[in-house]
Each structure stands twice: as C-alpha cells, then as structure tokens.
Amino acid sequence: MYDDPEIFDRKFEHIKIVVDKDVDYRIGNWFNFVHLIHMSLPELDIDDIDTSILFLGRKFSYPILIDSMTGGTEKAYKINGALGELAAKYNIPVSCGSQKAGLLDKELIYTYKVLRDVCPECFLIANIGGMDIVSDPVNIAQEVVSMIEADAIAIHLNPLQEAVQHESKPKYASVLNSIQKICDSLDVPVIAKETGAGISMGVAKALESVGVSAINISGSGGTSWSAVEVYRNLLRSDRLMAEVGKTFWNWGIPTAASLIEVVSSVNIPVIASGGIRTGIEIVKSLVLGASLTGIAAPFLRAYYKNELDFYMEKLINEVKVAMFLVGAADVESLRKVDYVITGDLLEWCRQRGLCNEQL
C-alpha cells in the first residue's frame, strides 16, 4: 500500500530529536498576550473546584489530552504503555501516534495496541496522516480504528513537516474529500488535527462542513516539526533541505491566535494544543473556548525523566490554582471569566475581524 522504507528510522529519530534538542518554536504560543483578570474574592474553597469536562460524550477528570506521539518501534511500545497507564490513572483521553507503520507491518501492531491493553476503559484516539488516507480512505481509517479498538480517530494535517522533510513528496490534493468519505462512513467520531502549525478559520469551516466531530488546532508555539526535520535532514547530509527547514522553523499560526480563529468559526468542540506547557495555559485555553487541551512533547520528556506522574500532578495543581484565582468552581464557569488581550494577538484579532465585545 505504501512506499516508505524510511518510516521505521523516522519514528525513532523523531523521539530522539524531540528529547535531545530544543526544537520548540522561538515565537512562543502567544498565550502571553492573554491576561486573565485576577479575582481577590474567589468566594470558593480550592478543594471544591471541579476540573472535570465532557468531550464527545465522555466525562474526563481533567481537561488534558495526552496528544498523538508514537508507535511502530520497541521503544514506542514502552512509551505508549506508560502513557496509557497515565491516562488510566488520571481518567484522561490519550491519542496514539501515527499508525502508518502498523498498516505496513502487522507485527508492529502491538506497539500501538498496548495503549488499549493497559487501559481498557480509556477514551483512545487512533491516528493517521491526511496524506496516508487518500489511496483508500474508508478502509484505511477503519483499519487503524480496529487496530487499537479506538473510540475516535484523528486525521493529522502536517503539510509543513512533509514539505521540509528529506524523503517526502507532499501530496495534499484530495485530503479534504478523503476526510469527508471517512466522516460519512465511520461509526466513531473523526477529529481533524494539525501537528504544530495551527488551523485557520477558513480551514476550520471546511473541516466542519465535511463532518468532522472536533478540531485539534495544534498551533505554533511548542514543537516545531520544521525544526525536527532540520536535524533529520542534517543526519542525511541534506544541507539544502536543512536550510529550508531552518527558514520555516517558526512558520504557522500561534496557538492562541489559532484557537480564537477556530472557536469563533465552528460549532464543534475544539482542542487547544501546540506549546501548552502549564496549567495557566490550559485554563486560558478553556476561557477562550477550548473544550480540551492537548500536550505532546512534555509528556515524552517527562517519561524519559521518569516524572510522568509528577508532571501530571504539577499540571493539575496549576489548573486548580488558576481556576481558584479567577473564581471558577468548574470548567463551565471559566467561559464567563473576564480577560484582556494585548499586543500582537490583539492586532491579529483586529485584522482577522475577530474582536468580540470583550476585546
């Protein structure tokens, strides 16, 4: 079905580069331009704060998704096992890495399926690339869902990464149409997902119109896939594409801007992700209208430091403190919290016609 002999090296290199190198965007996620108004009279006890959310018909204890990362290698099997256990312990959803290698080689399915094995009750999201579905959309989507008994499928859009990758020839000609076929046929929700360059209001509307159930914006501000491919291109002595990758290191729509664009243009749940690192950024995302927030690279780095539980506890505590300091007893109350937008983000909103009564 595929002609991609390098896929196995690629999966391993992605993990190694993200853990060893600083591949974050240098422009930030723009949540620094979002200011929540501090509340000196919260009129609630911190222990009474309810962080639970509803997303696609399921209740989760925290508004945190362990976002798509890996699969396809023995190392990925161990990482996915640990991430699945974390999801089970904290009752949060977890997304698989791209299952392309599992489609190519059935012997690798265990490296993805471990997520379901360690977490039978989890809300588990399958994952496949937009470019990888076009040859046979419905059958490929059904196969990746059944491969891990998933509750939903994320189709990732990564034109930036494909365009700067040494071995890739990006073909995005009929991705939207393929997503539509999948939405029409599958009996699990379809989530459209970027991988770090953000989704605009126009793309969000197009995705909603073909029937996706949710959008994961994955904006710019965290892991830069152009940066990751710079290092992979250097490993292959491809100086030309390494230089092109450097030029596009900061390309994309900053996460806070993408979130405002998408929330204001569609009526389906929106996942905020891309450089979300703290509980304050999680709470800011929820205030701006996200239903859930996704985090990827920090979980990988925490895994390597043997600190997954610590990182999760840090996020939970920060979310509770931030909710307390804006006087929100539950996530629904966050929608009414006052905020101010300044600087580049305010200018972005003005030029894109996104100023609501609060801006």
Ligand X SMILES: Cc1cc2nc3c(=O)[nH]c(=O)nc-3n(C[C@H](O)[C@H](O)[C@H](O)COP(=O)(O)O)c2cc1C
Q: Which residues bind ligand X (CB under 6 A)?
A: 14-15, 18, 67-70, 97-98, 127, 154, 156, 193, 195-196, 218, 222-223, 273-276, 295-297, 300
Cβ at position 51, least distance to ligand X in Å:
19
Measured from the CB atom, the residue of 287 and 296 that comes closer to ligand X is 296
**Residues 321 and 312 sit within 8 Å (Cβ to Cβ):** no
Measured from the CB atom, the residue of 69 and 288 that comes closer to ligand X is 69
- Residue with the CB atom nearest ligand X in the bound state: 222
DSSP letter for 206, please.
H
Measured from the CB atom, the residue of 131 and 328 that comes closer to ligand X is 131
Cβ at position 115, least distance to ligand X in Å:
13
Cβ at position 100, least distance to ligand X in Å:
8
> What DSSP assignment string belongs to 77-135?
HHHHHHHHHHHHHHT--EEPPP-HHHHH-GGGTHHHHHHHHH-TTS-EEEEEEGGGTTT
What residues have CB less than 8 Å from 167, skipping those under 6 apart? 4, 6, 10
**SS3 string of 266-298?**
CCCCEEEECCCCCHHHHHHHHHCCCCEEEECHH
Name the one residue in this structure whose structure tokens are 């496949």.
128
Cβ at position 333, least distance to ligand X in Å:
26
Cβ at position 58, least distance to ligand X in Å:
20
Of 210, 241, 209, 207, nearest to 227 by C-alpha is 241
Measured from the CB atom, the residue of 69 and 322 that comes closer to ligand X is 69
Cβ at position 219, least distance to ligand X in Å:
8
Measured from the CB atom, the residue of 70 and 180 that comes closer to ligand X is 70
For residue 216, which phi and psi values (nearest 5 degrees)?
Answer: -105, 110
Measured from the CB atom, the residue of 298 and 327 that comes closer to ligand X is 298
